[in-house]
Amino acid sequence: MLESLYLSWSAVTSLTPDEWSATNPAAGQCAVTALVVNDLFGGDIVRGAGLQGSHYWNRLAGGIDVDLTESQFLVRPAFVTIEVRSRAYVLSFPDTLARYELLLDRLRAHAARPRREP
């Protein structure tokens, strides 16, 4: 599933399409990816805000933080505030909702493809 998620990322699912590239596919994918992880595993969606903007990741049961998009950073940003945000809050931004729905469609398409034998 993880490979399908990574293959589903693109410039059109990115908040920052001008920064997205095949060498940095996680760029701008944090909110939509946190929503997908939340779909699959539950837990909380966490938002960190700092001088360089905001970033979303997941906190699973037992307090385990999972950030599938941290590879977009050379150095993880320092956050001034860290807070749990509801799905409703994250999806209240029309652009995020559209990118999330597109990412879900792409993820389902990748996941439905037959796997090739090695």
In a domain, 118, yes or no: no
In a domain, 27, yes or no: yes
Nearest-angstrom CA–CA distance, 108 and 106: 5
Instruction: Please report, as a single letter, which amino acid is at residue 11.
Output: A
Mean pLDDT by 10 residues, the chain (118 residues): 90 96 96 97 95 92 95 88 97 98 94 71
pTM for the model: 0.92
In a domain, 117, yes or no: no
State the residue range of the domain holding 63: 2-112
Number of domains in the chain: 1
In a domain, 24, yes or no: yes
Nearest-angstrom CA–CA distance, 90 and 96: 7
pLDDT of 25 reads 96
Instruction: Please report, as a single letter, which amino acid is at residue 81.
Output: T
In a domain, 103, yes or no: yes
